[in-house]
Structure 1
Amino acid sequence: MPNENLLLWKTVDLPHNQISFIVEGVGFFDGAPGPSMRLFSDAESVQSICSSGDSEFLAVTKIYLISPPWMNRQHERLMEPLSEIRLQSSDKEPPIYEFVTAGGQTYTSVREHSTT
């Protein structure tokens, strides 16, 4: 991979408490098909790309969940391959999702509040 591509990723700034997704697949770059990678901040967009694609993203090969500390109960973000996104409730705003990782861990999009 050329160095300029590596340097590009050093400029990504993610909000500390936000759920993010990296979607890998095949897309068009300068009119030619090739590897593609995009960053998303909502599950609805990820599901849309997976189900119907878009003009610049033809096929999805892998999705990674970047979970914030409140979600994964660690002191840092974790990036894990996803195996499934489940819509648990669409009657709330924002909708409630569950994210199942390839390792079997399940996370929810709802922040749990402690009652102490």
Structure 2
Amino acid sequence: MFRTNESQLQGKFKMSDENLLLWKSVDLSHNQYSFLVEGVGFFDGAFGPNVRLISDTETVQTICSSGDPEFLAVTKVYLISPPWMNRQGERLMEPISEIRLTNPGKEPPIYEFVTVAGQTYTSVPEPSPK
């Protein structure tokens, strides 16, 4: 989940059917993973590069599979992983090559994220060894 305070907004602009908020900064939930999606598409009537910070796997999969007017082509997806996920003691941002659903039809969904370097991360914390 992303969070910002109104004082951290750079601007608020009326779009055709909604408001566009430009952030000076954003706080990431300490325990949640997120994604940075890069691509090309139409934004504000112009074609060009686009980047979006996304906090859920389903939205990333939708953009990559069925497209989005702002993303006619996705060029790279980065996983921003919290320390519990990558076991490095800090957040990492790594390009991923694949997202796998490991428990189809069950709740909550469990995903595996495969990085370009071949590392696999899971979307749920593993139990601590006793």
**Aligned residue in 1 for 2:117:** 103
Identity of counterpart residues, as a percentage?
A: 76
**TM-score, normalised relative to structure 1:** 0.87
Task: Name the structure 1 match of 2:34.
Answer: 20
Helix, strand or coil at the partner of 2:37: strand
Which one has a larger percent helix, Structure 1 or Structure 2?
A: 1
Equivalent residues, number: 110
Look up the equivalent residue of 2:40 and give its one-letter code.
V
Q: 1:43 offset after TM fit, Å?
A: 1.1
Q: Displacement, 1:115?
A: 4.4
- Following superposition, the deviation at residue 30 of structure 1 comes to 2.2
Choose 1 or 2 for highest CA Rg. Answer: 2
| Distance of 1:29 and 1:55 partners within structure 2 | 8
8-17 or 66-75, which deviates more: 8-17
**Structure 1 counterpart of 2:67, from 53, 57, 65:** 53
Q: Does 1 or 2 have the higher relative contact order (CA < 8 Å, sep 6+)? A: 1
**TM (normalized to structure 2)?**
0.78
* Alpha-carbon distance in 1 for matches of 2:98, 2:127: 25
| DSSP 3-state at the match of 1:62 | strand
Instruction: Name the counterpart of 2:45.
Output: 31
Q: What RMSD, in angstroms, separates the aligned Cα atoms of the two structures?
A: 1.7
Ranges of 4+ aligned residues in structure 1 off by more than 3 Å = none
* Partner of residue 11 from structure 1, selected from 13, 18, 25: 25
